[in-house]
């Protein structure tokens, strides 16, 4: 990668419609301090000083796409409850349209509550349903996709295993996108792994990839075995395995393999890093990047967000500045 090519890609970044289909949720954080142990049980007492509520799950993917200047079309399901009102307010406050959201009276709006003391997570409590949506809700979701597919440059499936992504929905959506020539990116969940066939890219971390293939990834050779094995099983165009401190590995058809070293200067929290990777990768492809170029750009974005506590997004200008800095450093070293 060089500065001229990066600038060329970034000139096309922004203004592209990206459909995000997946499990919608909120992330609630209670921030506080611990000074004593509870007399009721051997647990710390957190004195809460502040509270924040953020968009999470597929909604955080939409936030990432929006931060890069693209137009997220968010499609998913929420309940008919007080938390759904908060969810819609958060969408509006962040400039994200909620036209693609379906209300299901039979399920709660998902919220994950994390209690943080001295920048360390103490406990997490989840309000959610993981039951698969019924056929009527699935039909509504599919109709929302059909309404928006013609204007889309890409579709991201953000599967958190909360019931929105079903096997039958996957088959219909993937078939529709392939017919339309739409780039399909999947952030996978273990239970559906074998159903992500014929997608453009799938972005598991090394734990998910190893579990899906039946082999733990502990080194580069095992990463290759799992990556190429999954490519064959899924007949995917590409697989991007995120490997934590070991960076990323991009497998492409034609036996092309690219390893990218991790670039994070500090790691505080990996929450939402996968959302950033798939969002940036898809937006970069929509802007005209080749797959290895998109992997490079998303690797740089991930290196930024893991330096923040909680879900975070990278703005286009910040990402471009960081990549310029990295390229300058590489040139100086070379």
Q: What's the CATH code of the domain at 304?
A: 3.40.1190.20
Total domain count, the chain = 1
Asked whether 6 and 59 are in contact (CB, 8 A), the reply is no
* pLDDT at residue 263 in the model: 79
**Angle, CA of 256, 260 and 261, to the nearest 5°:** 155
- Residue the block writes with tokens 């209690």: 115
* pLDDT at residue 271 in the model: 56
Spatial CA neighbour of 238 closest among 219, 254, 262: 254
Q: How many CB atoms lie within 10 A of CB 227?
A: 23
Residue 231 lies in a domain: yes
Asked whether 58 and 160 are in contact (CB, 8 A), the reply is yes
Residues with Cβ within 8 Å of residue 187, at least 6 apart in sequence: 22, 61, 156, 157, 158, 159, 203, 204, 274, 275, 278
Per-position pLDDT tens, the chain of length 334: 789 999 999 999 999 999 999 999 999 999 999 999 999 999 999 999 999 999 999 999 999 999 999 999 999 999 999 999 999 999 999 999 999 999 999 999 999 999 999 988 999 999 999 999 999 999 999 999 999 999 999 999 999 999 999 999 999 999 999 999 999 999 998 888 889 999 999 999 999 999 999 999 988 899 999 999 999 999 999 999 998 888 899 999 999 999 998 875 555 445 568 899 999 999 999 999 999 999 999 999 988 887 665 556 889 999 999 999 988 876 655 4
DSSP 173-186: HHHHHHHHT-EEEE
**pTM score over 0.85:** yes
Long-range contacts from 287-293, C-beta under 8 angstroms, 24+ separation: 287/9, 287/10, 287/11, 287/12, 287/13, 287/14, 287/16, 288/8, 288/9, 288/12, 289/9, 291/201, 291/238, 291/250, 291/252, 292/250, 292/252, 292/256, 292/258, 293/1, 293/5, 293/9
Residue 19 lies in a domain: yes
* pLDDT at residue 269 in the model: 45
* pLDDT at residue 76 in the model: 98
E strand map for 104-203: 110-117, 120-127, 152-158, 183-187, 201-202
Residue 286 lies in a domain: yes
Q: Which of 70, 104, 187, 275 is catalytic?
A: 275
Residue 233 lies in a domain: yes
Rounded distance between C-alpha atoms, residue 282 and residue 274, angstroms: 12
Question: Strand 71-78's sheet: what is its strand order?
Answer: 101-103, 71-78, 17-22, 152-158, 183-187, 201-202, 238-242, 248-252, 256-260
Rounded distance between C-alpha atoms, residue 86 and residue 108, angstroms: 13
Rounded distance between C-alpha atoms, residue 87 and residue 189, angstroms: 23
Residue 31 lies in a domain: no
* pLDDT at residue 190 in the model: 82
Domain that holds residue 64: 3-26+56-110+128-333
Residue 215 lies in a domain: yes
Residue 37 lies in a domain: no
* pLDDT at residue 243 in the model: 86
Would residue 159 show up in a list of annotated catalytic residues for this protein? no
Q: How many CB atoms lie within 10 A of CB 94?
A: 16
Residue 261 lies in a domain: yes
As separate numbers, helices (DSSP H) first and strands (DSSP E) second, the chain gives 10, 13
**Angle, CA of 311, 57 and 301, to the nearest 5°:** 45
* pLDDT at residue 6 in the model: 96
* Burial per residue of 124-151, b for 16 or more beta-carbon CB atoms within 10 angstroms, e otherwise: eeebbbeebbeeebbebbbebbeebbee
């Amino acid at each position: 990668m060089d500065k001229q090519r990066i600038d060329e890609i970034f000139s096309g970044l922004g203004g592209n419609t990206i459909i995000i289909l997946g499990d919608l949720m909120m992330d609630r954080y209670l921030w506080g301090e611990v000074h004593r142990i509870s007399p009721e049980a051997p647990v710390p007492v957190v004195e809460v000083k502040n509270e924040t509520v953020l968009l999470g799950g597929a909604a955080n993917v939409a936030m990432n796409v929006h931060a890069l200047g693209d137009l997220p079309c968010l499609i998913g399901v929420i309940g008919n409850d007080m938390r759904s009102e908060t969810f819609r307010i958060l969408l509006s406050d962040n400039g994200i349209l909620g036209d693609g959201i379906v209300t299901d009276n039979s399920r709660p709006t998902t919220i994950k509550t994390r209690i943080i003391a001295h920048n360390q997570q103490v406990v997490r409590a989840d309000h959610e349903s993981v039951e698969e949506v019924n056929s009527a809700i699935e039909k509504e979701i599919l109709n929302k996709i059909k309404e928006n597919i013609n204007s889309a440059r890409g579709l991201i499936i953000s599967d958190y295993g909360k019931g929105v992504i079903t096997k039958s929905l996957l088959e219909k959506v993937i078939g529709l996108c392939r017919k339309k020539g739409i780039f399909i990116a999947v952030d996978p969940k273990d239970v559906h792994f074998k159903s992500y066939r014929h997608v453009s890219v799938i972005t598991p971390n090394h734990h998910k990839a190893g579990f899906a293939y039946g082999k733990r990834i502990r080194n580069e050779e095992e990463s290759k075995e799992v990556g190429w094995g999954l490519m064959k099983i899924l007949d995917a165009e590409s697989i991007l395995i995120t490997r934590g401190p070991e960076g990323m590995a991009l497998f492409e058809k034609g036996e092309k393999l690219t390893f990218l070293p991790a670039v994070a200067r500090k790691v505080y929290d990996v929450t939402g890093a996968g959302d950033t990777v798939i969002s940036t990768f898809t937006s970069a492809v929509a802007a005209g990047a080749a797959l290895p170029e998109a992997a490079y750009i998303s690797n740089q974005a991930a290196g930024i967000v893991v330096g923040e506590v909680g879900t975070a997004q990278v703005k286009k200008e910040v990402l471009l500045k960081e990549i310029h800095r990295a390229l300058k450093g590489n040139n100086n070293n070379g």
